[in-house]
Amino acid sequence: MKVDVHTHIFPPEIVKDRSRFFDGEPMFQALYANPKARLATAETLMAAMDEAALDCSVTFGFPWKNTELAARHNDYVLESAANYASRLVPLGCVNPLAAGALEESERVLRAGARGLGELAVYEQCDESTALACYERLIECCRAHHALLLVHANEPIGHAYPGKAPFGLRFYYALARLARGLPLILAHWGGGLGCYELLRREVPEALAHVYYDTAASPFLYRPEVYRHMVEIAGGERILLGTDYPLLTAGRYFAEMAHAGLAAETVEAIAGGNAARLFGITR
């Protein structure tokens, strides 16, 4: 079973003319003004999944500031998942800081989303304000037995569009708030996982955290797989491609040369996600 837990799809009208949606959405513009930054519909995603022999993808939209647009996008994700019922798992996406984020989260979880994701605050923002906004969404997920997938990135190194300003303290505080709830921290958790080596407090606080591999070929050397398996264990690492940023083939090629046991590769490539999301063939 091969499962990709991190894909983005957009409604055809946004894919056709993205520039119409830049107004009032500086982060969407920052990430997608470059025409080389691809946008995909559900159909394009399905074709890429067939090509890579992926059984299933977890898919979601974008954290729009405009909650109406977020709702329209979430509806598209839900409809697509209904059209490809055994192959797409929908998450609802909101901007945690947006007015109406909680109401939209409630709505989309009631309508069948399996969780919220990829939640992100890309703009400069006070960390405690952001945490308070996340806290209500965490409680909403708890009430719906839903899971949470949150963007995380390394606090140092080169700058790129979509690199959020928060540091490890923020993601650690978030993980503590979400205790008991499955929490997927994207992009290897921005390095937070390394601190699972600490003797006290942290391993317990991060026990429910999963790390996805999204954008790994752009960010890390392939040895990251081996090190993260040693530190966090192979059962909490999930293949995420960030499609259409990258396709699954790049990740499979890296994993094949990362010096991992065959059963660990299988777990990362889908076994863990199948268990977490209750996906059966």
Residue whose CB is less far from Zn ion, 181 or 215: 215
Give min distance, CB of 118 to Zn ion, in A: 5
Residue whose CB is less far from Zn ion, 172 or 265: 172
Residue whose CB is less far from Zn ion, 162 or 222: 162
Helix H or strand E segment including 235: none
Structure tokens at 202: 């942290």
Nearest by Cα to 108 from 92, 96, 120, 97: 92
Residue whose CB is less far from Zn ion, 243 or 277: 243
6 binding Zn ion? (CB under 5 A)? no
Give min distance, CB of 116 to Zn ion, in A: 14
Q: Which stretch binds Zn ion (CB under 5 A): 135-143, 172-180, 182-190, 201-209?
A: 182-190
Total site size for Zn ion, rule CB under 5 A: 2
Q: Which stretch binds Zn ion (CB under 5 A): 13-21, 32-40, 92-100, 151-159?
A: 151-159
Residue whose CB is less far from Zn ion, 52 or 121: 121
Give min distance, CB of 186 to Zn ion, in A: 5
Q: What is the DSSP string of 19-30?
A: GGG-TT-HHHHH
Residue whose CB is less far from Zn ion, 60 or 265: 60
Judged by CB under 5 A, which of 151, 205, 239, 240 binds Zn ion?
151
Please check whether residue 126 is in contact with residue 166, taking contact to mean a CB–CB distance below 8 angstroms.
no
Structure tokens at 169: 């303290």
Question: Packing angle between helix 42-51 and helix 67-83, nearest 10 degrees?
Answer: 50
**Segment 185 to 214, residues that bind Zn ion, using CB under 5 A:** 186
Q: Which stretch binds Zn ion (CB under 5 A): 82-90, 138-146, 184-192, 273-281?
A: 184-192
Q: Which stretch binds Zn ion (CB under 5 A): 68-76, 78-86, 139-147, 179-187?
A: 179-187
How many CA within 13 A on the CB side of residue 21? Answer: 26
Residue whose CB is less far from Zn ion, 149 or 265: 149
Give min distance, CB of 59 to Zn ion, in A: 14
78/67 Cα distance (integer angstroms): 16
Residues 6+ apart with CB under 8 A from 58: 3, 4, 5, 6, 7, 88, 89, 90, 91, 114, 117, 149, 273, 277
User: Residue 10 carries which side chain, given as an amino acid letter?
Assistant: F
137/11 Cα distance (integer angstroms): 24
Helix (H, G, I), strand (E, B) or coil at 180: coil
Give min distance, CB of 74 to Zn ion, in A: 17
- In the complex, the residues that contact Zn ion under the rule CB under 5 A are 151, 186
